[in-house]
Amino acid sequence: MQSRKKIRFSIFLKLILLIVVFIALVNFAIGFFIRFSISKEHLGSFRGGPPPPPFIGHVLKELGTPPDTSKAKALCGEFNTNIRIETQNIKWTSDPDVPEIDDLRDEKAFDETKDIFMIDKNRRPFSVAKIENGFVIFTPRFPRDYINFEKAIPAIIVIVTVLCTLLYFSLRWIFGPVRKLSEAVNQISSGNFDAELDVRRNDELGNLANSINEMKQSISEMIKSKETLLIDVSHELRSPLTRIKIAAEFIGDEKVRTTIREDVAEMEAMVTGLLETYRMRNASENGTVSMQQTDIVELTKNLIRKFENSRINFKSEFDKRYVSLNKERIEIALRNIIDNALKYSDSKSVDINIFENTAMKSKTNVLIKDYGKGIEKEEIEKIFEPFYRIDKSRGKKISGYGLGLSLVKKILNDHKAEIVVNSTPGSGTEFLVIFK
Ligand code: ADP
């Protein structure tokens, strides 16, 4: 049993840290953006309070009486200030966002008795100067007035890209093991208990990975002990079966004798099938399956000949096609598939075709196609499980113990070959064996 590691750096903590770092980075990026997009000489101009009276006095003098708007425009640029002039005859502003005098009148600080007074409206400072027949309003320029949008757009793109990339890689790192975990669970559910899940983390995901490893080990041990029991019982059944067979021959009633003979034969076939599956798996686990370059076309032709069945149509793209395989085992696998195709298709024909997959040059395909009752989609995965038979009641009519395809799967796995099943209920089934 693997010990559960202590969580040192939980995912929750990691996420909090990521959020803090991200907020800091966003702040930094905004600062960087302002620094980058606003020219240096303008940076300080919108800090601090409203333009002071001596400055206003100086500007008013420059503007003259009545105020000269073109001069006002030039002064705005020179002093980074916005100006609004309102007299009986002139209504001019350097920026429409500078409020009109009537909008400032409601403010407490609005004091017409003074020549110059200061107002804070919407957190912006304004200096208001009384002139002949009107007012001049001064305010520091708005920050957005200084933003150079030509420079700003690439800066925004760079900042957003960098931040998003950082966020993506951080999240990927934090949740990376989730993908490994889901792959491992898929492997386990498909019966593969070999691969060890390697997640070296001191957080909840690391713990989950350890738990999955432990669970996998105990399930695998449980299955192994059940299998051992099954194999032992099968072994032990052989002698009593032989004894029953011999004893049955002494029964006088011909009908009873035949029934016992058939039942014993059925049990013997089941026991042999089980022991055969076990023997094959042991051999492949011990690495004692010998492979040699074999002509799959000839092997299939010989096999078909043994069936002595005129319903089989054979076709091959090649005269000879060499594949590295164990002859005895591939014969068993193909025999089981062909046997099923004949069994489950009444008296319709069965096509066997050997061809190359043009998309994947190295693949040799053996297709066994029947036009029988077919298999429902949800049954396709299950038919490879030992002792699985779709319609148990069929068993009475069609012999079999549900061991054939589990053996096929095992043999093909040992050959790193694939098996793909396509079936349309009512129309037939295709078993495609792909040698890589
Ligand atoms: P069995 O000994 O029962 O044939 P298999 O493991 O060979 O056991 O097959 C498992 C089950 O899959 C069969 O009982 C049958 O229901 C289904 N099956 C296999 N091949 C075909 C096929 N070509 N057409 C329809 N059903 C099939």
Whether residue 148 has pLDDT greater than 80: no
Neighbours of 182 (CB within 10 A): 10
Task: Please give the angle made by the CA atoms of 86, 92 and 93, to the nearest 5 degrees.
Answer: 105
CA of 340 relative to ligand 1 center, distance in Å: 6
Smallest CA separation from ligand 1 atom 19, residue: 340
Give the count of alpha carbons within 13 A of 386, CB side only. Answer: 15
- Cα separation, 225 vs 266, in Å, equals 25
In which region does residue 238 sit, left (phi positive, over 0), alpha (psi from -120 to 50) or beta (all else)?
alpha
Q: What is the pLDDT of residue 97?
A: 83
- Cα separation, 175 vs 177, in Å, equals 6
Q: What is the pLDDT of residue 396?
A: 53
- Three-state DSSP at 354 gives strand
Closest ligand 1 atom to residue 403 Cα is: 6
**Strands annotated E in 326-403:** 350-356, 364-370
Whether residue 41 has pLDDT greater than 80: no
Closest ligand 1 atom to residue 370 Cα is: 23
Confidence of residue 46 (pLDDT cuts 50, 70, 90): very low
DSSP strand pairing (312-316 vs 350-356): parallel
CA of 391 relative to ligand 1 center, distance in Å: 9
The pair of structure tokens assigned to 34 is 């302002």
Residue to mutate, 337, 346, 370, 383, ligand 1, most ligand atoms under 8 Å from C-beta: 383
Whether residue 66 is preceded by a cis peptide bond, meaning omega within 30 degrees of 0, is: yes
Q: What is the pLDDT of residue 143?
A: 60
- Contact (CB, 8 A) for 128 and 116: yes
In which region does residue 289 sit, left (phi positive, over 0), alpha (psi from -120 to 50) or beta (all else)?
beta
Ligand 1 neighbours (beta carbon < 6 A) = 336, 340-341, 344, 370, 372-373, 375, 383, 388-390, 400-406, 429
The pair of structure tokens assigned to 142 is 């708005």
pLDDT tens by residue, 101-115: 999 888 888 888 888
- 398 φ, ψ (degrees, to nearest 5): -115, 125
> To the nearest whole percent, how much of the chain has pLDDT over 70?
89
Residue to mutate, 389, 427, 431, ligand 1, most ligand atoms under 8 Å from C-beta: 389
- Three-state DSSP at 118 gives strand
Name which residue leads in pLDDT, 428 or 76.
Answer: 428
For the chain, helix (H) and strand (E) counts, in that order, are 13, 12
Q: What is the pLDDT of residue 48?
A: 53
CA of 196 relative to ligand 1 center, distance in Å: 33
User: Residue range 178-188: average pLDDT?
Assistant: 87
CA distances from 345 to 36, 76, 350, 370 (A): 77, 94, 8, 6
Helical residues (DSSP H) of 46-148, grouped into ranges: 53-63, 69-79, 101-104, 143-146
- Cα separation, 430 vs 424, in Å, equals 9
> To the nearest whole percent, how much of the chain has pLDDT over 90?
31
